[in-house]
Amino acid sequence: MSKVINNENVTVNVHNPGELVSDWKTALQYLKDGNKRYLEEKTIARNTNAEDRAELKSGQKPFAIIVTCSDSRVSPEIFFDHKLGDIFVIRNAGNIADSTALGSIEYAVEHLKSPLVVVVGHSCCGAVTGAFQGGEYPSNLKTIIDEITPEISGCGDVDEAIHSNIDSVVKKIQENEIVKEMGAKTIGAYYDIESGEVKFK
Ligand SMILES: [Zn+2]
């Protein structure tokens, strides 16, 4: 943990790029604190400069793995108010855990020792809406839709489907052998693109 001064001259605790966080609760608190700063428009003025890159050139110790949507309104470094070296991010349309996403998670929990995985779905998700409504899609996009569709069967509306998709991705990651072996915690979260708030499930 290191201390920085925010734009209101208040000291806040943040992750130091050289700090290995092994406790998922500490990691979760960093994310909660960051989203609070973002909501209150008290983000920390720092980054991204040569000093940061110099500190990170010898390695990375991201305290959390974030699986989220590629949607341009859903950028985790921004809504968690974190910077280079802090979070290991996997993004695809619909925040699914396909084999490449799982492989990336395995790498981060095993080699970078990240203790926390957070699956962040979001309001107005186009991928989940596409799966909910059904239809014809080109083959690669269909791969994503087909991954989501069975997880949202029975949902009454798109928002329910978004939550159901988050829960199923969390479950899939929790069942991963490497994640289990390394003892990483996996939780879900929902990002509201209008309010900017992340609600952890
Ligand atoms: Zn989306």
Give 113 Cα–ligand 1 centroid separation in angstroms: 27
Two tokens, residue 76: 């985790």
Give the three-class secondary structure for 90.
strand
Tell me: the pLDDT tens digits for 126-140? 999 999 999 999 999
Tell me: the pLDDT tens digits for 17-73? 889 999 999 999 999 999 999 999 999 866 578 888 888 999 999 999 999 999 999
CA dist., res. 15 & res. 96, Å (int): 27
| Domains in the chain with CATH codes | 2-200 (3.40.1050.10)
What is the DSSP secondary structure assignment for residue 49, as one 8-state letter?
S
Give 166 Cα–ligand 1 centroid separation in angstroms: 11
Flag whether pLDDT at 9 surpasses 80: no
Give 5 Cα–ligand 1 centroid separation in angstroms: 34
Give 128 Cα–ligand 1 centroid separation in angstroms: 7
Helix (H) or strand (E) holding 119: strand 116-122
Residue that the structure tokens 């998670």 belong to: 105
Flag whether pLDDT at 11 surpasses 90: no
Give 94 Cα–ligand 1 centroid separation in angstroms: 5
